[in-house]
């Protein structure tokens, strides 16, 4: 496994995210129907389909440019809470990696942490509020631990994805304190948060794009 991830990885990540979001469109709609308004799968699918078109039209030259392309597209094409939140995540990741042509494990962790911090800055959710943060924060923690123990980028991303999946599953018994689901009170109990689930899918796509 290589010690760094390059632009081809960033593009492959976005493409694979689009595939996975399309495959899980209905599942995400069902999750959002249970505790929201049912548009999460459709919103994200529209956004990632638009990202595919932009990748073809103007191929990015660096990982940061790929993240910026994703950010701009999601912000302009995806409504609701998730569009601006994911848009902010990719924009902060783009800023964190700057002009670098290749990302090592430490830079990757910095990008993931910046993405998470961006979602927190924008949405003000804390851990346990039953939002995408419940996937992102364990992912950042696991990625940090993996990188500190010397793991290569693909393994860092695999650790992040596994933690995000566990974090998404762990939203099921929670009462929501942010977003539409917070209006439901105890009726949100027993349902997985759609944004936490889509975050786990997207982070798994990052690991798979890296060959993990
Ligand atoms: P909307 O709720 O506007 O219909 P989506 O359905 O696309 O938007 O996205 C819902 C997801 O957005 C939720 O499942 C949750 O993960 C996430 N979310 C909502 N509000 C916040 C917030 N304040 N902070 C973090 N994530 C949030
Ligand atoms: Mg919704």
Whether 183 is in a domain gets the answer: yes
Whether 146 is in a domain gets the answer: yes
Q: Which atom of ligand 1 is nearest to the CA of 193?
A: 14
Whether 45 is in a domain gets the answer: yes
Whether 31 is in a domain gets the answer: yes
pTM of the model: 0.98
Look up the CATH number of the domain holding residue 140: 1.25.40.340
Range of the domain at 90: 7-209
**CB burial readout 149-171, b (16+ within 10 A) else e:** eebbbbbbbbbbbbbbbebbebb
CA–centroid distance, residue 125 to ligand 1 (Å) = 10
The total of structural domains in the chain comes to 1
Tens of each residue's pLDDT in the chain, 212 residues: 679 999 999 999 999 999 999 999 999 999 999 999 999 999 999 999 999 999 999 999 999 999 999 999 999 999 889 999 999 999 999 999 999 999 999 999 999 999 999 999 999 999 999 999 999 999 999 999 999 999 999 999 999 999 999 999 999 999 999 999 999 999 999 999 999 999 999 999 999 999 99
Q: Is the distance from the beta carbon of residue 81 to the nearest atom of ligand 1 less than 6 Å?
A: yes
Q: Is the distance from the beta carbon of residue 167 to the nearest atom of ligand 1 less than 6 Å?
A: no
The CA–CA distances, whole Å, from 1 to 5, 7, 28, 139 equal 10, 16, 32, 21
Whether 174 is in a domain gets the answer: yes
Whether 2 is in a domain gets the answer: no
Listing DSSP states for 23-54 in one string gives HTHHHHHHHHHHHS-S-HHHHHHHHHHHHHHH
Whether 99 is in a domain gets the answer: yes
Q: Is the distance from the beta carbon of residue 118 to the nearest atom of ligand 1 less than 6 Å?
A: no
Q: How many CB atoms lie within 10 A of CB 190?
A: 11
């Amino acid at each position: 496994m290589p010690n760094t991830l390059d632009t081809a990885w960033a593009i492959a990540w976005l493409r694979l995210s689009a595939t996975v979001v399309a495959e899980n469109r209905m599942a995400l709609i069902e999750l959002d129907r249970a505790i929201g308004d049912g548009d999460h799968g459709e919103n994200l699918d529209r956004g990632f389909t638009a990202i595919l078109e932009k990748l073809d039209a103007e191929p990015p030259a660096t990982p940061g440019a790929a993240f910026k392309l994703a950010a701009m597209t999601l912000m302009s094409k995806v409504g609701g809470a998730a569009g601006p939140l994911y848009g902010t995540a990719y924009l902060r990741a783009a800023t964190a990696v700057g002009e670098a042509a290749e990302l090592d494990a430490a830079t990757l962790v910095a990008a993931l942490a910046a993405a998470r911090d961006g979602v927190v800055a924008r949405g003000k959710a804390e851990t346990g509020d039953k939002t995408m943060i419940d996937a992102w924060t364990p992912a950042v923690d696991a990625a940090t631990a993996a990188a500190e123990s010397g793991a290569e980028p693909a393994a860092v991303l695999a650790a992040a994805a596994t933690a995000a999946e566990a974090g998404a599953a762990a939203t099921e018994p929670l009462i929501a304190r942010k977003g539409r689901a917070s209006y439901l009170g105890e009726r949100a109990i027993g349902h997985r948060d759609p944004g936490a689930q889509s975050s786990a899918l997207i982070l798994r796509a990052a690991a798979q794009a890296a060959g993990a």
